[in-house]
Each structure stands twice: as C-alpha cells, then as structure tokens.
Structure 1
Amino acid sequence: MKVEIWSDVMCPFCYIGKHNFEKALENLPFKNEVEVEWKSFQLDPTLNPSETKTTVEYFKEKKGIPEAQASQMVSQVAQMGQMAEIDFNFEKALITNTFPAHRLIHLAKKHNLSSEVEEALFEAHFIDGENVGSIDLLVSIAEKLGIDKEEAQKVLNSDTFDQEVNQDIADAQNNGITGVPFFVLNGKYAVSGAQPVETFVNALQQTYNETVSPFKDLSDGGTSCDADGCSI
C-alpha cells in the first residue's frame, strides 16, 4: 500500500498533517506494509532564495492585511499545533524559497530517509528559526541524518534533482492539487489538509482493506468449490 504526500516545508499545516498521519499509522497493525513517498510542492515559488521574511511580514505582504490580523492568524495556527504536540515558534520562523530544501528531500528519498529529512526541515523552520534555503544548513541536516556530506554538497550546489522537484509540482497541477498537505492513498483516495488522527486512521484502514480484498462480494452465500472440495 502506497501513500503519496504533497507538502511544502514552510506550510504549518503540512507539519501538523505529518504528525497526525504518523500517529494514525503507528496505531495500525499493517503500518510496516505502508510505503510513504513525499512529493514536492511550492506554495510560493516567486520568493527570492537569497532573502528571508518573518511569518507576519510575509502574511502582511501576501494577503495585504494589517499586522494585528496577521499576528492573530499566526496565533490560531500555533494553537492548532499544540493539539498535534508541535510548539510552533513563528516569531523566529523565516520565510524563503524552499526549492533547495526540496532538492534535499529527493536526495533523502535515495537513502530511504525522506520522512526523517522532512521532520528535520520542519523543525529547523518552525522551531529553531533556521533558514531552510541555506545550503550550509541543508548540508548539516543531511550529514546529521547519515547522508555523506560531500554528496549533499554536490547535490545542493547543482541542478541534480531539479527535474524531479519540478515533476512533482507538475503532477500536483495535473491532478488538480492546489493546496497542501495532500495525501493520495494507493492512487485511489485523497485526504486533503491537516486532518485529525481519526480521519487518517479511517482512510488508511479503508484503503488497506480494499488492497487486501479488492472485490466487494454482493452475493448472499451460495454454493461453490475450493481446494478442499465443493460445498452443497
């Protein structure tokens, strides 16, 4: 069973959704049979990768709202984070272009470390107030998780995974995905947004049940034969 997750590093709901999804999966008996693939999505590809803004500054400019309203919006998201056991630190969070971070996520996929790198990037951005557009920071994250430093430097200073990142973004557009997080279960069902744990549990269970037994039996009993003989 496969779950594809479109996400962006600077999306707080993606962080909440990741925690709720993983909590749901942890409680299911078939958790080891679920393959998770993280997909790239950029909420704002127009951002300058060499610049950073505070979250409130970004909301003010992007949405054209007063600072007080922007601060209130941030506070509401922080409260949602607490329910998912995430202590957002929006006062320190730096908004920037996340394309370099997506390169790292694709490198991590090669090493089966996608979820670990996603978590490290969310933590760096939302908790520690680090610049996730910084190559030095991204290399440091890669190295801490066991990825060779030289390999990370080579990838992050090149266009090695640019095609893969852009393909993920194109796939999202082709599938009508306009917001994240967006979860696709076995290419059949979709769950959008930072849903509660229970919603993920139900969606995963339903998808798994259909994976194990893809046919829905519409009959009411009936005679048949199997390897042990025929029933009459």
Structure 2
Amino acid sequence: MTAPDNRPVVQIDIVSDIVCPWCIVGFRQLDKALADLEVLARLRWHPFELNPDMGPDGQNLREHIVEKYGSTAEQSQQVRDRLTAMGAELGFTFNFTDDSRIVNTFPAHQLLDWAEGQGRQHPLKMALFQTYFTQQKDVSDIDVLIGAAESAGLDPVAVRQALESGAYAAPVREKQRFWTSRGISGVPAMVFGGKYLVTGAQGGDTYKQVLQRCLSEAA
C-alpha cells in the first residue's frame, strides 16, 4: 500500500485508553519512528477501559494507583517524574498534580467511535490526551468532551447529539469485547499490518524494527 507520493503506508491498529499515560508516550514514540523512516500510517484507535467500574465522581489518581497496584506514594511520584521527562522529550506535556483524578472513559470512547465516521478520530484522540493530561480536565464530563471535540474540528451540536443519543454505547462494548477476547489485557497494544502485536510503550527502535518488517513483506 502506498500514498500518492509513493511513500509506503502501514495499517496500525492501536488499542488504548485516554487516561493511560503510556498510550500517548507509546504513540509519540511510534510517530517519531514513522517520521524517521518516512513511512505513513493508516491509524485506527480502538477502545479499552483501564477502569470500567470507575464511578461518576472518579478518584484521586495517586490514591487510585496505590490502591490498584500497591505502589507507595514515593513510587507513584517517581513514575510521574519519569513520565513527565519522557513526555517532554517527545513534545508532550504531563501536568500531574496532587489533585489529578482518574475518571470513567466510556463516554469518551463512544465519542471516538462516532468521530471515526466523521474522519476525525485521530485528531480527537490527540485532543483528549491533551485535555486530560495537559489541561487536567475531567474527560468524563460531557461539556469537556464537547470542547475537546470542537478543538479537533467537530461540530459541537452534532457531538452533543451523538453523546446523548446513546447510540454508540453498544458498538463500543462490542469492540472492547473483541479485543479482550483476543488476549488484550493492557494498553497500549498496537497491531501492525494486521499481524504483529506490540504491547506497552516499547520505544522508537522497536517500532522501527516492526515497521521495517512490514515494509519488507509488502515489497
């Protein structure tokens, strides 16, 4: 598969959650690998909820990490510092604070599902990462979602209708079941060319190796 300028195009399916910091780190690493190799990607984002049972009020992020993973507050801070440094190197800003919260992302995934049909899924995904991690906004709030969608070039009236209709709840649940039935239990999970699965933020060199393998097989 090639683009009009004859550059190769690789299909990449990315299973991720908006509140997963490693998902945006992994994507930025992938994006740099694509640029370095001068390869284009046809990206599709797929839904995964790290916390499907999270209540409407969310939970303090540090408390959540300690409770879910058994990490100490010091370990949690070390991970935040590492992510902040990695993000800065990749051109993304993490603004963690003591008040950072983890929230339910099911409505956001419904919006992303709708946005795919509008041809704006990828810019919306990027806007949601920035809204949550950089701006520290509640991406379970419908008005916050509408604002993020508008910044990604989507019509706010249509966005509200899509969210309030509930029409995308069942399709998102079905897509989540599809990926979990295939063994996806953590994110990011990237499938290259429909064949090669890479889990976690594995770094630019790893992504380059997989991309080059896809290209050599397509040649």
TM-score range, shorter chain: 0.7 to 0.9
Match of 1:114 among 121, 134, 158: 121
* 1:43-82 correspondence to structure 2 within 5 Å: 43-48=50-55, 50-82=56-88
Residue 166 of structure 1 aligns with which residue? 173
Would you say 1:175 and 2:182 are equivalent positions?
yes
**Aligned partners of 2:105, 2:114: CA distance in 1, in Å?**
15
Q: Which runs of 5+ in 1 are unaligned?
A: 213-232
Provide closer, same or farther for how the CA distance between residues 85 and 148 of structure 1 changes in structure 2, counting only shifts above 3 A. Answer: closer
1:94-140 CA-to-partner distances (Å, cap 9, x unmatched) read 21000111111112211222221111111111111000001001111
Find the aligned partners of 2:123 and 2:48 in 1 and give their Cα distance: 18
Which of 12, 16, 19 lines up with 1:7 in the alignment? 16
**Cα deviation, residue 192, structure 1:** 1.2
Shift, 1:65, TM fit = 4.0
The alignment-based identity, stated in percent, is 32
Please say which structure displays the higher CA radius of gyration: 1
C-alpha displacement of 1:167: 2.1
Native 8 Å contact 2:110 2:163 kept in 1: yes
The counterpart of 2:142, out of the listed 126, 135, 141, is: 135
SS in 2 for 1:112: coil
| Structure 2 unmatched runs, 5+ | 1-9
Distance 1:13 1:55 in 2: 15
Match of 2:91 in 1: 85
Q: CA deviation at 1:173?
A: 1.2
TM-score w.r.t. length of structure 2: 0.88
1:56/1:74 contact within 8 Å kept: no
Q: What is the TM-score normalised by the length of structure 1?
A: 0.83
SS in structure 1 of the partner of residue 12 of structure 2: strand
Aligned-pair distance for 1:142? 1.4
Tell me the number of residue pairs that the alignment of Structure 1 and Structure 2 aligns. 209
For 1:146 and 1:80, the matched residues in 2 are separated by 28
Alignment equivalent of 2:27, drawn from 15, 18, 21: 18
Could you report, residue by residue, the CA deviation over 1:43-68 in whole angstroms, capped at 9, with x for unpaired residues?
110101x2133321211222344433
Equivalents in 2 of 1:74, 1:146: separation in Å? 31
Measured on the aligned residues, the alpha-carbon RMSD in Å equals 1.7
User: Alpha carbons of 1:64 and 1:201: their partners in 2 closer, same or farther (altered >3 Å)?
Assistant: closer
- The residue number in structure 2 matching 1:29 is 38
Question: Are the counterparts in 2 of residues 56 and 67 from structure 1 also a CA contact under 8 Å?
Answer: yes
C-alpha contact (below 8 Å) 1:5/1:38 kept by paired residues = yes
Q: Give the Cα separation in 2 of the matches to 1:122 and 1:143.
A: 14
